[in-house]
Amino acid sequence: MNSWDQLKKSAALQALEFLESGMVVGLGTGSTVRFALDGLGERLRTGELKNIVAISSSIQTEKIAHRLKIPLTDFTQHSQIDVTIDGADEVDDQLNLIKGGGGALLREKVLAQASRQNIIIVDASKVTGVLGSKWALPVEVIPFAAEIENKYLQTLGASVELRKTPSGDIFNTDQNNYILDANFGQISDPYKLAADLNQRAGIVEHGLFLNLASKVIVAESTGIRILEN
């Protein structure tokens, strides 16, 4: 494990400190969160944490959880999550996020909105002054509306690409939707943009996660930093 991965692992283990036995835990998706999954599985195995059940944000995470023997549940059994641990592609000074680089933004936002606390793990490269400075905004659309929503995003000033797999096929989300990666550049008013996107029938969800992060744990070359509003 390289030094940067070691820092991300340290951040993930720090996030686990917010968990207690008996909690319902939301499991995010991505390489940084994987360290938290490994740590959670180990704490359950040793008995340091007990009676944890988890709700997953993706099929990928579900498979990892099964392998690590992390018990899974769903919203038919539990209507609220105590703590969700997830990553982000960008974090601004107000702890607003861009998420969806891994393609799980819809389920990730469902988990975030159902959680008492959202603990976000990132490395220092994801912290920015203005959202959109480093990352295009993922916008999940129903396939039927992909072309018209592509054109709509362009009217808002974005350059847009339909996300594809490395083999060149159209990327399908776990909910069988498409993702349009909309590059707006720096987003001066994320709340206005979110409102514009929310009104479109063909847009299922977007990667602006506003006022949802409770804490952001940042892995930096000098160590771990915790950001809170």
Q: Is 108 a catalytic residue?
A: yes
Strand-pair category, 208-209 with 97-98: antiparallel
- Rounded-to-integer distance, Cα 46 and Cα 66, Å: 17
| E strand spans, 35-175 | 53-56, 81-87, 90-91, 97-98, 115-123, 137-141, 159-162
Distance of CA 175 to the CA centre of its chain: 16
Sort 199 into a burial class: Cβ within 10 Å, 0-12 / 13-18 / 19+.
Answer: exposed
The label of the residue with tokens 């920015």 reads 128
Task: Tell me which of 90, 108, 149, 205 is the catalytic residue.
Answer: 108
User: Which residues are catalytic, by number?
Assistant: 108
